[in-house]
Amino acid sequence: MPSLALPQRTAADLRRINADFYESLWAGSRLVDPRRFNTWPMVRDLAMALPRRLEVAPGLRPRLPLDGTYFVDLSPSATKGLRAHGASAMRGSLSALPCPTAGFDLICALDILEHLPDDERALQELSRVAAPDARMLLSVPLHPEAWTDFDDFVGHARRYEPVMLVRRLAAHGWTIEQSAVYGMQANSSRLLAIGQWYLTHHRERALWWYNHVLMPLGLRLQKPLQWRAGMGSTQGVDEVVLLCRRT
């Protein structure tokens, strides 16, 4: 069941764009404590019950507790920063996780699946490392018709149709238990255009402003997540975070 993608760029193009963008981002970032994110109330309760934990591609914005979680990220700056704070982190790809089969009870993969040229392989890997009855926190952008220049710039390969996403997860043995509207993307197309211009022409300055001004402001302004059963209504929803259960 293929996802609906926008194939203007090759897989190699996507890998290069993502590697360049996120390595530049994490190289100038400081680690943000997981307790500062609006995912923490859900994560805290899950982590207490599920001690074998994996988070994939957290960068320096991990959502699972640093203590006791195994982190995998492609970025050298991200893995170095995580280790500097006492976390167990290894470089690796979601397409070939350096992890044991059925080794984890709680998996977190936020804002990553949409970047990968082969998301089917990624879903296979997430399912492989999940123990029976495991939980997974997953976030993805929705609605291909809502594609903007922002998606191109940050290296997205696709947006997901909600119905197809539910079916694809089910095909890999996952049931969506709860969901919530998620993400911090600006609604103003003009603001996005200005941000992309600065990132293109003055990347170092733009990333400084993001890391030191916009990100802290976004953390202060974020609202508590409103969880609802199943996928829920996705009308007008740009991005969703899902709590899935391995069945």
Task: Provide the pLDDT for residue 149.
Answer: 78
Report residue 104: phi and psi, to 5°: -135, 140
> What is the pTM (predicted TM-score) of this model?
0.85
pLDDT in tens, 168-189: 999 999 999 999 999 755 555 5
pLDDT in tens, 48-98: 999 999 999 999 999 999 999 999 999 999 999 999 999 999 999 999 999
| pLDDT averaged over every residue in the chain | 88
Lowest-confidence pick of 3-7, 183-187, 222-226: 3-7
Please state whether beta strands 239-246 and 130-141 pair in parallel, antiparallel, or not at all (unpaired): antiparallel
Number of helical H runs and strand E runs in the chain: 9, 8
N residues, the chain: 247
Task: Provide the pLDDT for residue 4.
Answer: 43
- Those residues with Cβ within 8 angstroms of residue 136's Cβ, 6 or more apart along the chain or in another chain: 106, 107, 108, 109, 126, 130, 174, 242, 243, 244, 245, 246
User: What average pLDDT does the segment 19-33 reach?
Assistant: 86
Domains in the chain, ordered, with CATH?
11-185+225-246 (3.40.50.150)
User: What average pLDDT does the segment 93-109 reach?
Assistant: 97
| Opening angle at CA 78, ends 186 and 178, nearest 5 | 55
